[in-house]
Amino acid sequence: MPLLYDFNMDTADDLALRLAQNLKRRRLEKGLSRSALSMMSGVPAPTIAKFEQQHSISLVSFLALAKALGYTDALKSLLSEPIYTTMEELETINKNKNRKHGRNEFNR
């Protein structure tokens, strides 16, 4: 069921920018150069630079960087709990808790 109201105006690009800024801030707080973080994470330094400057990175590389900075538990908790805005949405979530496959809306 699509959300009827979404007051969050952040775009995917806005979120990528915020993640890149946060990663750079955490890297600098720890006194790490891009080369040092590269060695810790296995992610090439140019990839780190591209992420910090252009906010583009593969998910696997992002996860490796976050893990190297100590954010494994935060990553594990991401998407771990359902979020709902209405009681109807909560009822749908509870009804579908054990589903293994989504419903194909095109084959009705």
pLDDT of 3 over the 60 cut: no
The 8 Å CB, 24+ separation contacts for 7-11 are none
Distance of CA 96 to the CA centre of its chain: 24
Helix (H/G/I), strand (E/B), else coil: 38 = helix
Q: Which CATH number fits domain 13-75: 3.50.50.60, 1.10.260.40, 3.30.420.40, 1.10.760.10?
A: 1.10.260.40
Within a 13 Å sphere around the CA of 97, how many CA atoms are in the beta-carbon half?
Answer: 8
The pair of three-digit structure tokens given for residue 78, joined into one six-digit string: 């991401």
Each residue's pLDDT tens digit, 15-26: 999 999 999 999
Domains in the chain: boundaries = 13-75
Q: Residue range 53-69: average pLDDT?
A: 98
Asked whether the whole model's pTM tops 0.75, one would answer yes
